[in-house]
Amino acid sequence: MQFEQQQNHQNMETGMIPPQLNHGGHEMFDVHEVLAGAINTMNTYTMLSGHVQDPELRDILQRQKQFMADEYNITLECFKTGQDPSKPTQSYKMKQGNDFIYGMKPGQPKKPMQSTAEINDETVALSMLNAVKSGATMKTNAAMESTNPVVRRVLADSLPNCIEMAYEISLYQNKHGYYQVPQLPQQDMQYMQNSYATAPIQSQMPGKMAPH
């Protein structure tokens, strides 16, 4: 134990830290939250899968869960070794189009379920979306706290995938009327779009005047 403490102290002084120990305290806690959160999200998808009715939603759930498992393994590997993982982070590709339906239509007010018999595709999609959004927040925080460059890069590379998954789910929700998107009047949108002007770009930052 004393030898390990002396060795750690020597490593701190010389900067010779083994790759697997190249992690700061904040990073350790935040990446722990990311990994635990990823497991929870995959568990959530597994529990929800038995309630899915729509084949399209089932396809989204299965594709996203498989991608999450692969990404989890990559993150875990670099977290344990402190080095580049055996395979790079992939880019998630959704099948949905990009066209949202805008406008609000009256419907039944939302309220909590009273039994599991009420679980339907709308409930499943919302639970999936909330889980993916939560993961994006945790990965962002962990990436900002990571001192290990590989872990930081892997976490940062996974964020676009979280965004893509959330976008895919929200498009599905919108198409089926589960998620309505209000829109401002055209005049208000144009006013807000025209409220900003392009920033001038200088070819060189102004330096100090040379002394005469």
Mean pLDDT of 51-55: 97
Q: How does residue 97 score in pLDDT terms, banded at 50, 70 and 90?
A: confident
pLDDT in tens, 59-86: 999 999 999 999 999 999 988 888 888 9
pLDDT tens track for 108-131: 888 898 998 999 999 999 999 999
Q: How far apart are CA 142 and CA 136, in angstroms?
A: 10
Is the pLDDT at 93 greater than 90? The verdict is yes
Residues 136-164: pLDDT tens digits?
999 999 999 988 889 999 999 999 999 99
| Residue ranges per structural domain of the chain | 23-95+122-176
- Spatial contact of 179 and 130, defined as CB atoms under 8 Å apart: no
- Reported pTM: 0.84
pLDDT at 95: 86
pLDDT at 210: 56
Q: Is the pLDDT of residue 10 over 70?
A: no
* Nearest in space to 71 (alpha carbons), one of 34, 43, 46, 96: 34
Class of domain 23-95+122-176: mainly alpha
